[in-house]
Amino acid sequence: MNDTPNDSTTPTGSETVVVIVEDDPNIADLVELYLRRDGFRPFQAGTGERALEVIAERKPKLILLDIGLPGELDGLDVCRSVRATSNVPIIFLTARDDEVDRVLGLELGADDYVTKPFSPRELVARVKTILRRSDGPVEPSPAAVDLGEGIVINGARREATVGGDAVALATREFDLAMYLAEHRGLALSRRQLLDGVWGADWIGDDRTVDVHVRQLRKKLGDGFHLETVWGVGYRLD
């Protein structure tokens, strides 16, 4: 995919609002520049407190969220607060490996993360990938997959229901649930799941899959028969 801003004659962002939460103005301005060139409408916030105001006001389609922020609220606090009411995709901007561990370990429903220093072009490519997913998959998913035990994965509404009650799933959690549902009975390796759900160009590791699997098990409960296949990965029965 060629996503060099200068080569792009047709903006792809279509005025999609993205909030950049980042206290380093150099990084924030650079990311804003790249997003703007691709047709997005970026807004910046330099503190966690300001981020919550801007997010409430602008209602972004996606949030880029730095973890280390000045003031009372760090990026993880912002994520928690946003997640209380919304499944808007969030990409964390992490500075160190231990921050990656915190993002994954806290199971906050991050949709992706990039480690600084990152290429703004790569970041914009990830933004587009995630927005394509959250706008609805390119290939039509089945309207609904009934997994039994009262669990239904609803492709049109991008939610799961357990016993008729809607369960909020983050973007990647939903994608993973749908992918597993569409490959029921097959043992899938973590690499296959990463490729199938996150995309072959996604630079991540097996922990990401495991964290999302834990979230799905927690949210969908005992009726969700996702088996760990030792030495391989996972199989939905």
Size of the site for Ca ion (CB under 5 A): 3
Contact in structure between 234 and 193 (CB atoms under 8 Å)? yes
With b for 16 or more beta-carbon neighbours within 10 A and e for fewer, the 26-45 pattern comes to ebbeebbebbebbebbbbbb
Scan residues 189-208 and list those touching Ca ion (CB under 5 A). Answer: none
Nearest residue to 92 (alpha-carbon basis) of 118, 55, 61, 54: 118
If the CB atoms of residues 68 and 196 are measured against Ca ion, the closer one turns out to be: 68
If the CB atoms of residues 116 and 183 are measured against Ca ion, the closer one turns out to be: 116
Nearest residue to 149 (alpha-carbon basis) of 223, 59, 208: 223
Residue 84: CB minimum distance to Ca ion, A = 23
The phi, psi pair for 165, rounded to 5°, reads -95, 130
If the CB atoms of residues 2 and 26 are measured against Ca ion, the closer one turns out to be: 26
At 115, the amino acid letter reads: T
The answer to whether residue 99 forms part of the interface with Ca ion (CB under 5 A) is: no
Residue 9 corresponds to which tokens in the numbers above? 């004659």
Residue 64: CB minimum distance to Ca ion, A = 12
If the CB atoms of residues 96 and 207 are measured against Ca ion, the closer one turns out to be: 96
| Identified binder of Ca ion from the candidate list 68, 137, 196, 221, rule CB under 5 A | 68
At 29, the amino acid letter reads: D
Question: Which position's Cβ is nearest Ca ion?
Answer: 68
Residue 27: CB minimum distance to Ca ion, A = 8
Residue 179: CB minimum distance to Ca ion, A = 33
Sheet with strand 233-236: strands edge to edge: 187-189, 233-236, 226-229
Residue 235: CB minimum distance to Ca ion, A = 41
If the CB atoms of residues 69 and 104 are measured against Ca ion, the closer one turns out to be: 69
Residue with token string 């409430």 = 56
The answer to whether residue 77 forms part of the interface with Ca ion (CB under 5 A) is: no
HSE, CB side, 13 Å, CA atoms: give it for residue 116: 18
The answer to whether residue 66 forms part of the interface with Ca ion (CB under 5 A) is: yes
Scan residues 14-43 and list those touching Ca ion (CB under 5 A). Answer: 23
The contact set with Ca ion (CB under 5 A) reads 23, 66, 68
